[in-house]
Chain A
Amino acid sequence: MTATRQIEFREALREAMTEEMHRDKRVFLMGEEVAEYNGAYKVSRGMLEEFGPKRVIDTPISETGFAGLGIGAAMTGLRPIIEFMSWSFSLVAADQILNNAPKMLYMSGGQFGCPIVFRGNCGAGGQLGSTHSWCVESLFSNVPGLKMVMPFDAYDAKGMLKTAIRDENPVFFLESERLLSVKGEVPEQEYLVAFQEALIRRAGDDCTIVSFGRALYFCLEAAQELAKEGIECEVIDGRTIRPLDIESIVKSVRKTNYCVVVDQSWPFASLGAEIAAQVHQYCFDDLDNHVMRVHSDDVPAPYAYNLEQEMLPNARKICQAVRSATYNA
């Protein structure tokens, strides 16, 4: 057994970046407030001191500028980590991150890759209002050429960020502000977490629930509640959205015959819709009901606390969907 310790999600992220920056001199961190202020969310605390201003770089409030700069650096041999204070702000850099980075290898005929990591908070942080509460996973995962990761806990945050930094492609690393303070077991020893390997967070035979990132906590809460009613859910953490480990999901659905997908982005043309479509495709003869989906409500995020809680794919909605899916409504 390797020794472990309890550290916060944000510390796990920092360890990943620090270890990779020691290992590879091409790796650097750039973003708003990442250096002098130790990070808007204190993820990069102490890193300026450790690596100096050439590798931990504060930027002006210009996502278009520093995202594009990072892409150029990646194309010419460096391994940038670009921090978006929130993925909501990445939208102004859409041309850089969606229209250039993921297509660079293709458009240059293989001459230029784009080994870059974009990371930051994604999803409702807590009363941040409509424009600062974006879940970009459905919108962005539509683009070919990028990878997308949504870690669930400190262990995955560290292991997957290290894998992301070493990846030759642009990796969109979606963290949750709500999870940054959550502590988890992390080994002392160095480790990596591979992409496209979904994980069963809770085993069960009665209904498969598929989710990613923070929404998994809603799922686990719901699963606990449903267990009291005798419905044992299998909660699957997809971990990477692209590439998607559909095999693990299919394997579970073939066992349970029911599937509920929980996706914190909006329902229309979403990640949840994609997974539901694939489950219908691969598990048609194994399904006892159509796949049901739980999303954030199809409205801009409200500011009011109670409304925001109600908008999210919360445990109550998940319970309702599972009961309905398994004909226990």
Chain B
Amino acid sequence: MSIEITMPRLSDTMEQGTIIRWMVKEGDTVSAGDAIADIETDKATMEMQVYDDGTIAKIIIGEGQTVEVGTLIAIVAEEDEELSDIAASAPDAKVDSQSSPKAEKVDSPTQTVPVAIEPEPAASIQTQEDTVVPSYGNGRTRISPVARRLAEDHGIDAASLQGSGPAGRIVKRDVLRAVEAGVETAAAVPPSAAPKPALPITPVSMETQIIEVPTILEDRAIPLSNVRQIIAKRLVESKTSIPHYQVTVVFDMDPLLDLRKTLNEQLADQGVKLSVNDFLVRCCALAMYEHHEFNASWGGDHIHIHGQVNIGVAISLPAERGGGLVVATIYNADQKSLRAISADTKALAEKARTRGLTVDEMSNATFTISNLGMFGVEHFTAIINPPNSAILAIGAALQKPVVRDSVLTVGYEMSATLSLDHRVIDGASAAKFLQTLKKVIENPATLLV
């Protein structure tokens, strides 16, 4: 079976390409991976590779010619194929194999009405549409309804079948042949659990063997979930309307981690396990309480100082809930104990990932913490979650060479980057806030009172 080489899409915006130079000539033997031509795209001149072993049977588009993406430009013969046969049956140059079927223009002078798609508008046998329906693009299997049902009943992956109907439509007999050929291996297993065959199964007679490369990645469009739409809208608003700036600080985490270890050991019996994040929520809340100007929102003609310290915690959602993230609110975090913060956070995260949060549970945060420490991220910056004026992006607590009391030693350090709204908070205030936060984190006993 010969392999058709078509003009490849070498850039996202490429519509057509020009053959600058053929590096092979008819009759040359090629191996998969060989460069066979230089193609000029709208952006650059690139080498085109061949993906199969074989012999160049025919070059259809000559050097210097420009054709649409997808146009047949050459034919490669596989081993034991007669080159002359292929060359003889190959189309002549400049044949646009990609063009979709179009209605013939009728030149008759009496024809005043434009002729539509149907070649014979007055036809009494309504069968012609089969020949004029343009084929589907990638990723869509043409299959008749009953063939689809039969394939499902027999646990056959329809995409693996070769259709014998018009434009390759898979029809009933194709499925029945596959059933006879014993493709029904997956019948005992539910379809979803059935392993996808590594190679396309072609149970149909081998006279029309099709060379198909199994697709691993493919272009596809995923419709936006509501969460994704909201994320997109709010973050674009935030990033384009708020004058962001960032301040980074590094904390000595040894005292906090020591305290956490002690507390968790003591509370294990009660089923309490405090996370680093729980500590940080309380640290931030206490720092916010001291720095009122941080607990604020830009009000257009005024700055609104909030009367409550509510800390928002970013929670990522699992893929089965559509992915994305939500910000859950720990109300009055400055007045809550570590244990209460921990319990609140756990409950909200669990609810967000299973049932979803109520509007209240996602609203009224006055400051947000985004923590990627659990993924080993050392440092990142976050986008402010309006109407907040600041968000803290927390990295991982990592063991590092540190200087303590003028001695080089090993200790845990954690970097955190604060993103701020410059309309509300100036740099010096940010620095003071971080100073307070650093004091609290590095002297965590305060958290217990």
CA distance A313 to B124 in the complex (A): 7
B122-A299 in contact (CB<8A)? yes
CA distance A310 to B316 in the complex (A): 70
Whether B438 sits at the interface, judged by CB under 8 Å, is: no
A289-B122 in contact (CB<8A)? no
> Which chain B residues lie closer than 8 Å to A287 at the CB level?
144-146
Closest chain-B Cβ to A261's Cβ sits at a distance in Å of 9
Whether A162 sits at the interface, judged by CB under 8 Å, is: no
Closest chain-B Cβ to A252's Cβ sits at a distance in Å of 14
Whether B172 sits at the interface, judged by CB under 8 Å, is: yes
Whether A286 sits at the interface, judged by CB under 8 Å, is: yes
CA distance A286 to B145 in the complex (A): 6
CA distance A296 to B123 in the complex (A): 9
Q: Given that A285-B149, A327-B165, A327-B173 are known contacts, is A292 also in contact with B125, CB under 8 Å in the complex?
A: yes
B126-A292 in contact (CB<8A)? yes
Whether A267 sits at the interface, judged by CB under 8 Å, is: yes
Whether B127 sits at the interface, judged by CB under 8 Å, is: yes
CA distance A294 to B127 in the complex (A): 9
> Which chain A residues lie closer than 8 Å to B164 at the CB level?
327
Residue interface mask B47-65, A partner, CB < 8 A = 1 = 0000000000000000000
Whether A131 sits at the interface, judged by CB under 8 Å, is: no
CA distance A299 to B23 in the complex (A): 59
B124-A289 in contact (CB<8A)? no
Please tell me the size bucket of the interface on B: 20 to 34
> Which chain A residues lie closer than 8 Å to B121 at the CB level?
298
Closest chain-A Cβ to B261's Cβ sits at a distance in Å of 62
CA distance A294 to B126 in the complex (A): 7
Whether B10 sits at the interface, judged by CB under 8 Å, is: no
Closest chain-B Cβ to A130's Cβ sits at a distance in Å of 15
Whether A103 sits at the interface, judged by CB under 8 Å, is: no
CA distance A292 to B126 in the complex (A): 6
> Which chain B residues lie closer than 8 Å to A106 at the CB level?
none
Interface 9-residue window, one of A36-44, A92-100, A317-325: A317-325
A288-B126 in contact (CB<8A)? no
Q: Which of B135-192 contact A (CB under 8 A)?
A: 144-149, 164-166, 171-173
Residue interface mask A296-310, B partner, CB < 8 A = 1 = 111100000000000
Whether B360 sits at the interface, judged by CB under 8 Å, is: no
A298-B125 in contact (CB<8A)? no
Whether B130 sits at the interface, judged by CB under 8 Å, is: yes
Smallest CB gap from B166: residue in A: A327
Cross-chain contact of A257 among B122, B124, B165, B172 (Cβ < 8 A):
B172
B171-A289 in contact (CB<8A)? yes
Whether A242 sits at the interface, judged by CB under 8 Å, is: no
A293-B145 in contact (CB<8A)? no
Whether A295 sits at the interface, judged by CB under 8 Å, is: yes
> Which chain A residues lie closer than 8 Å to B123 at the CB level?
267, 297-298
Cross-chain contact of B147 among A288, A292, A321 (Cβ < 8 A):
A288
A288-B125 in contact (CB<8A)? no
Q: Given that A285-B146, A288-B146, A288-B171 are known contacts, is A293 also in contact with B126, CB under 8 Å in the complex?
A: yes
Cross-chain contact of B126 among A267, A285, A329 (Cβ < 8 A):
A267
Q: Which residues of B contact A (CB under 8 A)?
A: 121-127, 129-130, 144-149, 164-166, 171-173
Q: List 27 A-B contacts (CB under 8 A).
A: A257-B172, A285-B149, A287-B144, A287-B146, A288-B145, A288-B146, A288-B147, A288-B171, A290-B129, A292-B125, A292-B127, A293-B125, A296-B124, A297-B122, A297-B123, A298-B123, A311-B124, A313-B124, A317-B124, A320-B127, A321-B126, A324-B130, A325-B127, A327-B164, A327-B166, A327-B171, A327-B173
Known: A288-B146, A327-B165. 18 other contacts (CB 8 A): A257-B172, A285-B146, A286-B145, A286-B149, A288-B144, A288-B145, A288-B172, A289-B165, A289-B171, A293-B126, A295-B126, A296-B124, A297-B122, A298-B122, A298-B123, A317-B125, A325-B127, A327-B171
Q: Which residues of A contact B (CB under 8 A)?
A: 257, 267, 284-290, 292-299, 311, 313, 317, 320-321, 324-325, 327, 329
